[in-house]
Amino acid sequence: MRKRDFFFGEVYEGGAGATLRLSDMEPLARKVSAEFFTAQLNRMLKEHDGQLTLSDGTSYPSFWSFIDKVVPEQVGFVEIYARQDVNDNVEATLACDIVLVNGVITVKPHWCAYKDIRADEVISTLLVPLHLKALQGKAYIRWDDGETEPLLQNDDYQAELENVFSVSKVSVHQ
Strand arrangement, sheet containing 139-142: 2-5, 9-14, 17-21, 51-55, 103-111, 93-100, 77-83, 139-142, 148-150
> What pLDDT was estimated at residue 166?
87
Q: pLDDT per residue over 102-131, tens digit each?
A: 999 999 998 887 777 788 899 999 999 999
Q: Which residues pair with 94 in a beta bridge?
A: 82, 111
- Rounded Cα distance, 166 and 173, in Å: 11
Q: What percent of the chain has pLDDT over 70?
A: 95
Q: pLDDT per residue over 58-106, tens digit each?
A: 888 999 999 999 999 999 999 999 988 756 667 788 999 999 999 999 9
> What pLDDT was estimated at residue 173?
44
Q: What's the distance, CA 128 to chain centroid?
A: 12
Cα torsion 80, 161, 149, 60 to 10°: value is: -10
Confidence of residue 145 (pLDDT cuts 50, 70, 90): very high
> What pLDDT was estimated at residue 174?
39
- Rounded Cα distance, 159 and 153, in Å: 8
